[in-house]
Amino acid sequence: MSTLILIRHGQSLWNLEKRFTGWVDVDLTEKGMREAEKAGFLIKERSINIDLYFSSLQTRACNTLKIIQKILDDQKKFEKIWQLNERHYGALTGQNKIEMGKKIGKDKVHELRRSWDLKPEPLDKKSPLHPLNNKIYEDVPKEMIPDTESLKDTYERVINFYKKKIENLMMNNNILISAHGNSIRAICKFLFKLDDKQISSLEIPTGNPLLIKFDKKYNIIECEYLDKDRSNDLLVF
């Protein structure tokens, strides 16, 4: 049996401000740090030995993982993987979701956020918010850095990495991945065989570890969120 723990980073500064964040590199709020600490203690209670850790390149996911590792007293090096980054929201990046709802309508905003293959308008490459202009992405091949993405685009980059890397490690290791709402949504779509409509309605709560156990044939035999106090946030599989 092997275990995979998926955790969306704790609340970020732009989560708090209700802004489209995407590939912009923002840090955790104090609440986000507390969420990460609680996640660490919830994992520690299960006495699970984590063999391998992965995070996106983004600070909010990396710092969530560092806080968890501190609670677990486990300072193994973790791999930072750009393919686990959040979805790129194109020209919506940095915009306030409520204000955009007033400007273009709540239904349109929801469509842009959750439609499977609809992309927002691309973000200008000259924008200071574009990942091409952020040093943390300097090692990512420029041709792979998007100007905008749909959920489908995000799914394809995340799952291509997952199949090549994570699946090959799963049978011999317990793995923890610290990432983002849409990158974890992509992994859940793949693992739980969700259709394109189901993935659009799947909510991923911040800072709540999703524990998934597999048998030797890679079948899911158990799945649960560890923070039971936040049951209203959760999707039951």
Model confidence at 232: pLDDT above 60: no
Q: Which residue has the higher pLDDT, 1 or 22?
A: 22
pLDDT of residue 90: 97
Cβ-contact 47, 227 below 8 angstroms: no
pLDDT of residue 42: 97
DSSP 8-state secondary structure symbol assigned to residue 121: P
Q: Are strands 52-55 and 79-80 parallel, antiparallel or unpaired?
A: parallel
pLDDT of residue 145: 98
Q: Which residue has the higher pLDDT, 235 or 37?
A: 37
Quick one: tokens of 175? 């793995």
Question: Which tens digits make up the pLDDT trace of 75-117?
Answer: 999 999 999 999 999 999 999 999 999 999 988 888 888 889 9
User: Is 79 part of the annotated catalytic residue set?
Assistant: no
Give the whole-angstrom CA distance, residue 200 versus residue 13.
Answer: 24
Of the pLDDT bands very low, low, confident and very high (cuts 50, 70, 90), residue 229 is confident
Model confidence at 234: pLDDT above 80: no
For the chain, domains (ranges, CATH) are 2-89+152-233 (3.40.50.1240)
DSSP 8-state secondary structure symbol assigned to residue 117: S
Q: Which among 9, 2, 43, 23 has a CA at the least distance from the CA of 166? A: 2
Catalytic choice (86, 88, 130, 149): 86
Question: Which tens digits make up the pLDDT trace of 130-177?
Answer: 999 999 999 999 999 999 999 999 999 999 999 999 998 988 899 999
Give the whole-angstrom CA distance, residue 185 versus residue 190.
Answer: 9
- Supply the DSSP string of 137-185, one letter for each residue: GTTS-GGG--S---HHHHHHHHHHHIIIIIHHHHTT--EEEEE-HHHHH
pLDDT of residue 228: 84
Residues in the chain: 237
Number of C-beta neighbours around residue 197 at 10 A: 9
Give the whole-angstrom CA distance, residue 180 versus residue 56.
Answer: 8
Of the pLDDT bands very low, low, confident and very high (cuts 50, 70, 90), residue 231 is low
Of the pLDDT bands very low, low, confident and very high (cuts 50, 70, 90), residue 200 is confident
Q: Which among 75, 154, 92 has a CA at the least distance from the CA of 127? A: 92
Question: Which tens digits make up the pLDDT trace of 24-73?
Answer: 999 999 999 999 999 999 999 999 999 999 999 999 999 999 999 999 99
User: Is 180 part of the annotated catalytic residue set?
Assistant: no
Q: Which among 191, 213, 186 has a CA at the least distance from the CA of 202? A: 186
Catalytic choice (9, 88, 130, 180): 9
